[in-house]
Amino acid sequence: MGSQLGKTPTNSENFMNFMMREKTISPRFSRLNTPREIEVGEFVADSVQIGGGYAQQFRTLGINYRTLGDNLPSPTDAVAAIKTMKFGRVKIFNPNEKILTALANTGIEVVVAVPNEQIVEVGASPSAANAWVQQHVAAYYPATIIVVILVGNEIFTGTIFQSTWTSLVPAIQNLHAALESLGWSGQIKISTAVALDVLTSSFPPSAGSFRSDIATHIIQPLLTFLTTTSSYLFVNVYPFLTCSSSSDISLSYAMFANSTNDVVDGVLTYTNLMDAQLDAVYAASFKLGFASLRIAVGETGWPTAGDPTQVHAPIDNAAVYNRRLVRKALSTTQIGTPSRPGFIIPSYIFALFNENLKPGAGSERNWGLLYPNLSQVYALDLTGQLSDSQNSPSSDSSPLVSGSDAEFCAAIQPGQSCYLPNTLVRHADWAFNSYWQKYKGAGASCSFDGAGVLTSTDPREWRSTSGGITETKAQFQTPAELERNHDMRCRSSRHEVGVKN
């Protein structure tokens, strides 16, 4: 496939020089692209719709559905929720039989993954690839509309899956051959999902380049396959993580807001972090000779809670980020990125559910749009109608309350009824309990990533001593006992361990 920016560059041509020339002489660089240039991608069935007015969403927005929780609803109920939310695509992380069955005859397009642990086997044996396709694709297709097979997820992150690196492209090729033998290679594409750490440089975007340990012998043949078969490279992009780890990046820039910190890179201006990160991948691909590579955002989103140090994680920020993401995906004037205007980038929000068994920082368990009881963590619709005003972004240092939920802190402000004793633990007690009492009916828990605990002790019995925190008449109960006791409260777990206030 030729370049979608005009013509394929020579290997020696500088990326920014190429972009400057294209912006100057090529009508394709205009944001006012013709409908023909706003291409959707061969694996998308353009004619399929899932309800009035949702054709655009069907082509561009999907949801990641993981199951790292011990309290999640059945696949049947989860798929019903996906349909209600009007997501047209779902990405799952393993070929779960119950999920694939539940997705049958729904009209929802499905991206299914080969787990990292199976890459070596599939890459070493065409027969193993054939067996995988028979068991996990042919058994469900076409009733379950599988459109993409992702071989692995973020295998280049760290070294835990380094043994699979050289097997990636052979596995992809073997699976493609298996699909070809069934006549399905045109309908089902194959790719892999990578994190941004495949880049050794990403700022400014035009400086994007792939890591030297994978660029030539893995990434180059991978991109050759993807461009030859008109597939996409799935890239997981998390502005939240980048913003949280760098004081140089403003919250507004990470959240698609009009920013005074726009990045100017040659002839291109970046108003948000995601566009800059995606263009860094485009630039890196360009430098390997792939000007026509297409990208899909495999994962993006914003957590609703996190550890105390994750100050950008309040629920308001998550609502605003994902609402703006939806509006960007549906926009007719902001299609693509500054270096690739006019090309739709399919995007998958992470994630469907909060997952209480996911390891890592507190935010890792709080990316969901839904609580396990299927109630919404915050309102999100795929028409782009919800405004930011319902949830204002907040960089409040408290991971518990922010924006519209500031009521939880009102009573513990100086001079107010619950300000004294002025201790961290007592203030946490009040905020934890106030928040939990309001939202427990919607599925909220009292975990606060290990900082909260349920108790039936009257709040007046929560006392502190000069030597630390002690519990008076504590009555901590089992979950079953608490279910029978309506007079329960959420409080700081620091009372149990004697942490000084």
Paired strand residues for 491: 453
DSSP state of 218: I
CB 205 within 8 A of CB 339: yes
Domain ranges of the chain: 15-390, 406-497
Q: Is 42 a catalytic residue?
A: no
Quote the tokens at residue 283: 């630039």
Quote the Cα angle for 196-121-135, to 5°: 100
What pLDDT, on a 0 to 100 scale, did the predictor assign at position 14? 67
What pLDDT, on a 0 to 100 scale, did the predictor assign at position 12? 36
What pLDDT, on a 0 to 100 scale, did the predictor assign at position 39? 33
CATH architecture of 15-390: Alpha-Beta Barrel (3.20)
Marked catalytic residue, from 13, 39, 97, 299: 299
Give the CA distances from residue 352 to residues 44, 116, 365, 498, in Å, rounded to whole numbers and listed in that order. Answer: 22, 21, 12, 37
Cα separation of the two ends of the chain:
64
What pLDDT, on a 0 to 100 scale, did the predictor assign at position 414? 75
What pLDDT, on a 0 to 100 scale, did the predictor assign at position 390? 59
User: Minimal CA–CA distance to 381: which of 318, 329, 326?
Assistant: 326
Burial class (CB in 10 A: 0-12, 13-18, 19+), 486: exposed
Is pTM, for the whole model, over 0.75?
no
What pLDDT, on a 0 to 100 scale, did the predictor assign at position 111? 98
Marked catalytic residue, from 42, 154, 364, 483: 154
Quote the tokens at residue 110: 């499905």
CB 456 within 8 A of CB 477: yes
**Helix 168-182 crosses helix 220-228 at what angle (to 10 degrees)?**
20
Helix (H) or strand (E) holding 63: strand 61-65
Quote the tokens at residue 326: 């939806």
Number of helices and strands (H, E) in the chain? 16, 18
3-state secondary structure of 192: strand
| Alpha carbons 316 and 304: distance in angstroms, whole number | 7
* Residue given tokens 């309040």 in the structure block: 314
pLDDT digits (tens, 9 = 90+) for 306-363: 877 787 888 889 999 999 999 988 888 878 999 999 888 999 999 999 999 999 988 8
Which residues of the chain, if any, have pLDDT below 70? 1-60, 258-260, 389-411, 417, 436, 438-489, 491-501
| Alpha carbons 271 and 252: distance in angstroms, whole number | 9
What pLDDT, on a 0 to 100 scale, did the predictor assign at position 26? 39
Q: What is the 3-state secondary structure (H, E, C) of 444-465?
A: CCCCHHHCEEEECCCHHHCCEE
What pLDDT, on a 0 to 100 scale, did the predictor assign at position 438? 66
What pLDDT, on a 0 to 100 scale, did the predictor assign at position 456? 57
Q: Is 299 a catalytic residue?
A: yes
* Residue given tokens 């108003």 in the structure block: 271
CB 116 within 8 A of CB 153: yes
